[in-house]
Structure 1
Amino acid sequence: MPDDPAITEAELYDLRHRDAEREDVEFYVDRAREADGPVLELACGTGRVHLPLLRAGVDADGVDLSAERLDRLRGKARAEDLDPAVREADMTALEADRAYDLAICPYNSLQFARTLPDLRATLSNVHDALGPGGRFVFDVFVPDFDVICETYGEWEETTVERAGETYTVRSRTTVTDPVEQLFRVERELLTPEGDVVLADASELAMLPKRLVEAVVDASPFAAGSVAGGFDGDAIAEDAATQVWTLERAGDG
């Protein structure tokens, strides 16, 4: 095994997404620039979206459950002379100390609210963290049953490069509760010699459109709409992503 320090889960996340092309970063930065006040990012992680917000001069705060990921975000921010205001917090029990004009939750992270009470609590907490007329924007994937049938339960492999060494990343997604539509993502990191040096797993909930719609309708938000991607087009049967915008009522 190489002599470099062990790869952490937070570093692995960055390595896996280093070359990823996803339209959400530009989308969320644009939404933040349009905001009339501060912005709150849920599940800000290692800063994939949060650092571009800070680079754009956005007054942004961030919360995440992982202290390790937040430490990595802070380290990257220091290297760019940025000063992030991020803290460890659970979005299902969120308490805000100021009113935000915009809250965002990128890249399927709302799916970590695995139960209906957790999902309802998250929407209620975000609503309370927004000022009058504030918006909550998030994206979740559209469950694709062709993909589920063809790939779930099977290990898939990719590679990442680190310090001149090629590591293998094995991942497997399995449905753990078909009735509740919960699924588990397992991931292992293997050295060039084939030794497993990092393993983690997480459980998430599938959030089909009509379930999200029902929870939104029962939430304190005054209005909600969904697009079929980051370009704003109407959602259609071939959409891979749901992009939701919820609005808190304005003054009066």
Structure 2
Amino acid sequence: MKDQNGSYRTERARFYDAQVGAGDRDDVAFYRDLATSVDGPVLETACGTGRIYLELLAAGVDADGFDLSPDALAILREHAAERGLDPSVWTADLADFAVDRAYALATCPFNALQHLRTVDAQLAALESIHDALEPGGRFVFDVFVPGFDVICGTYGEWQTRAVDHRGVEHELRTRTRIVDEVEQRFDVETELYDSDGERLFAETDRLSMLPKPRVELLARQSPFADWSVTGDFGDEPIADGDTIQVWELRRAE
């Protein structure tokens, strides 16, 4: 999904924006409600094309954002202009960034932390985010729960379905496969074909599994003072059967 500079290519970014924007996830309302409840500015890391970030702006939140992809941010700015919003976003790397203000809340939605595939990169991101927060500030993010039924049942096989893209039916092919069992790394391959069978793009996301014990160990090694985890954007502790981990890490007062 990224070129050699880590950026979404333009066609892939527009496809991602349309497909994910049309999805049905509970994260938009969750992060909007969270952002409107804090007393201070909010930073959305890996904000992408603005699916969540623009809803924060529309709700009156003093929100900044960044992403590694200039193409994604260009689409975010287009959407903002259409809605009369004034975004404050820039290009930066989640594993190595600095800011010039202190935030009451930082967020990292939709598995974005899983794009950091090494412990060093993951810890570097937590340190950068910790340093961006004011005393007592919070970092909230979500990653999926690795499901063995899904991994055993679908990983390694191409999945094909018809999708609408720019008002025309296209064929979408995706395959998720484990590429390093020891390091728990996996690739998500995405290909899009038009009605004539011409391939519009072929991209690969390279990610890392982050099961709950791994995230807890990262939190323990990070500068954060304490943490908690709930399931599926609810307010109950995560339990067997939940598919999404929602973590909150807190900076000391």
Check whether TM > 0.5. Answer: yes
Q: Give yes or no for the alignment of 1:115 onto 2:109.
A: no
| Contact residue 142 and residue 207 of structure 1 kept, 8 A | yes
Taking the aligned partners of 2:147 and 2:127, their CA distance within structure 1 comes to 28
Unaligned runs of 5+ in 2: 1-8
1:179: how far off?
A: 0.3
Q: 1:80 aligns with which of 77, 83, 106?
A: 83
1:165: how far off?
A: 1.1
| Contact residue 21 and residue 51 of structure 2 kept, 8 A | no
Q: Give yes or no for the alignment of 1:201 onto 2:182.
A: no
**Count of matched residue positions in the alignment of Structure 1 and Structure 2:** 245
Query: Counterpart of 2:34?
Result: 31
Letter in 2 for 1:91: L
| Contact residue 7 and residue 198 of structure 1 kept, 8 A | no
**Which shifted more, 149-158 or 69-78?**
149-158
Residue 54 and residue 214 in structure 1: after superposition, are their counterparts in 2 closer, same or farther (change >3 A)? same
Q: Give yes or no for the alignment of 1:46 onto 2:49.
A: yes
Taking the aligned partners of 2:249 and 2:65, their CA distance within structure 1 comes to 19
**Which shifted more, 149-158 or 36-45?**
149-158
Q: 2:249 aligns with which of 240, 246, 251?
A: 246
Residue 208 and residue 181 in structure 1: after superposition, are their counterparts in 2 closer, same or farther (change >3 A)? same
Within a 5 Å distance, the mapping from 1:1-252 to structure 2 comes to: 8-250=11-253
Query: Counterpart of 1:3?
Result: none
1:15: how far off?
A: 2.1
| Contact residue 15 and residue 160 of structure 1 kept, 8 A | no
1:68: how far off?
A: 0.3
1:92: how far off?
A: 0.3
1:241: how far off?
A: 0.6
SS in 1 for 2:129: helix
Taking the aligned partners of 2:200 and 2:233, their CA distance within structure 1 comes to 36
Percent identity (aligned)? 51
Deviations 1:4-59 (A, max 9, x none): xx971111002212321100000000110011111000110001111111111111
| Contact residue 15 and residue 161 of structure 1 kept, 8 A | no
Deviations 1:88-114 (A, max 9, x none): 000100111110000000000010111
